[in-house]
Chains A and B, each alone.
Chain A
Amino acid sequence: MRSVRLDYALRVFWGLLLVFLYAPLAVVVFFSFNSINSSARFAGFSLQWYERLFRNEAIVSALMNTVVLALASTLIAVVIGGLLGYGFYRYRLGRLSWLVWLIYLPVIMPDIVFGIAEMTFFVAINERLGILSPGLGTMVIAHVTFQVPFVALLVNARLLSLDPQLFEACHDLYAAPWQRARFFLLPVLRPAILSSFLLALTLSIDDFVISFFTAGPQSTTLPIYIWSAIKKGVTPEVNAIATLMIGSVLLVALFSLLAQHGSSGGKQSKGGTKA
């Protein structure tokens, strides 16, 4: 029997933990509505920082870049990573089994090493071939590269959990590979694809370091904008931009919750950042 006292202590602990987890975000949101330029004293409610935000061309274009980067890299990564996860499942006994190690490389490599390796590589290529000059393109490539392994792992895990006999049955049922993909693989992989889409999206939104080192003059994203703005101290304007990002993440969270309820087979997606 669990003691009542322990249970009570755990409840209090849980409450405090929620405060710890959400206080920093709440403070950011709260002070973004401050009517004065301070994050220590709240003088009154105002939307002026948001108005300024949307009148500031640099911020609006950073917002656009953030959205384009996150969506483009996630879509590409889900396709490439999904194929890779399937390929590893289907051909795992082949001569290519050593390739599996490729997947773990981005997982253990520190962000900062990843970022500078990409940066120096892009610079070297650019000097010689004139392609891959720093910008949204190089950022998408870098993001896709760290997203692909996570997508592949999720899709692969889902396939491993299926009964191998299903595949044989499917083979007998449909002759053409595209039919198998369309009528069998896609439906059974739907939950895994959905959760890997969300995971890849959050990985992209969470990243700062890799974006920072692969960005060019015209591809500033919101986190990079904030990074240079907070050198002057945290202002309500910075808090307002941050609030927009927090809001969008809450939307993603809500969406993932609904998606979980929608698909019974969908397990809790292992969320979080790139390790």
Chain B
Amino acid sequence: MTRQTQIKKSLALGTPYVWLTSGAVAFCMILVIGVIGLITVRGAVHFWPKPIVMLNMTAEVSEERVMGEIAGTEVVSASLLKEQGIMVPDGLNSIKRLLIKTGNRKLNGVDFKWFNETDYIAGIEIPSNATVVEREEWGNFYGFINSIKENGQVIKPKTSLLDELDKRLTRRHLLVEEIRAIENSDMQKLNGKVERLRLESRRLELKGESKNGQSQLFIEAQLTEIQKKYEFLNNKLRTLYKKIQRDQVELLTGNGVSVLLDMRDIVRVYQPNNMSFGDKLIHYFEKVFEFVSEEPREANTEGGIFPAIFGTVVMVLLMSVFVTPFGVVAAVYLNEYAGQGALTRAIRIAVNNLAGVPSVVYGVFGLGFFVYFVGGSIDDLFYPEVAPAPKFGTPGLIWSSLTLAILTVPVVIVSTEEGLRRIPRNLREGSLALGATKAETLMRTVLPMATPAMMTGLILAVARAAGEVAPLMMVGVVKLAPSLPIDGTFPFIHMERKFMHMGFHIYDVGFQSPNVEAARPLVYATSFLLIIIIISLNMTAITVRNHLRDKYNASDT
């Protein structure tokens, strides 16, 4: 047999085609694993401390030394660089270049900069004392600690400068916590009270009570009281601010420029090149903890995403409260009460298909119906005093939950119905034969048995809701919410507030942020967290469903 005939035979048998189809499966698997892997690697690696490098530049470059983290490398063709007006030595076809996160944005104007390999002298230095300073504002600072100043005086610490700095940083964190407690909790409560009193007064005014009425005067008195408290808090704050301004630290950049940083703005100081593996591990988990528990800083490009996680969870929980009873009632009605005619079949198909309607359509509906129509009417009827600023007639938490409830109710209906259908007929008949009414049969026998199916539906609904963004953009999500939807001020759960959401956070930080390059790692980290949540929810649903199937397949026989 010659090679050619062999190939022909093989083609006739179709083996290569079979392999092609298996190749399609393999490729799909690569896609899934690749995407999840990519996000996992990028998202999880972000918090690991990276070494700080120092590049010694060649004579032609204005800067002497450049310090920072390597953020990427690439190979560019020489012709492209020439077109951009960059000189390339002859004989080189392509050039490797490094993307360095140079930090020190206040000095350099940019965070990230490309350096061609021709720009710096080969051999990258890794200076052991290089220090990273994470700040409240202006991003990271890279340099060497020179001295620490207290009230403008250089102090001579007994231990190393870094240890001394850490000690003073702990003091700073405690002070910041105190300040935050006052600003975010005490003052906010007072503000809430003032706002409530203002509305109360306006309401009375609308009712026709004069400015000098009994209750108006009472409100006036309360306001003065609050004003006093406010003054007191303000004084407290002032002393705290004075305290926190005590320390300063002087750092030298790679080029030897001295920079004075206020300790007040410093979040964390570390020397990655000196860290042992254990130190790095501790640093890693600290950063991860900060990520899930802190508020964002610097237009969401740094710090944590706690408000987004919190917002997502609250919204999803509220949605579950709406979607579960509605979905179950509709499913029970369709399966147990409605006559199984053509109409019910049509409704079933319709409900099923609603799951396939684009989510953005639900968003439009939510905005038009819930926010403007229902919310607007609530404002007109119950809160005339807030006009013209709307209270419920504007996107908010409750409308987001309701919109997503409508979006996910088909999932719950379909899943619950499937569960109801799987319950063997003889169980129902047994219950009825023993004298139970239909309601009793349902409540005591059928529904408890269908609980896992309802759970599956609910979990799938939650997983879908957690990942939806398009409708939420219209009905209540914002990039930066001033306060959480649940807090210490009356009535504690603020249904009308706008909130932050992890999915929207990804969109916003990744695409609307002024400093995309700096924000990107955080977006990967957020995506990673969201994927973990959603995949684990789905896995739970699948497990519950499979468990359910096995159970009833067994009881059928």
Q: Do A and B come from one complex?
A: no
B interface, CB within 8 angstroms of A = none
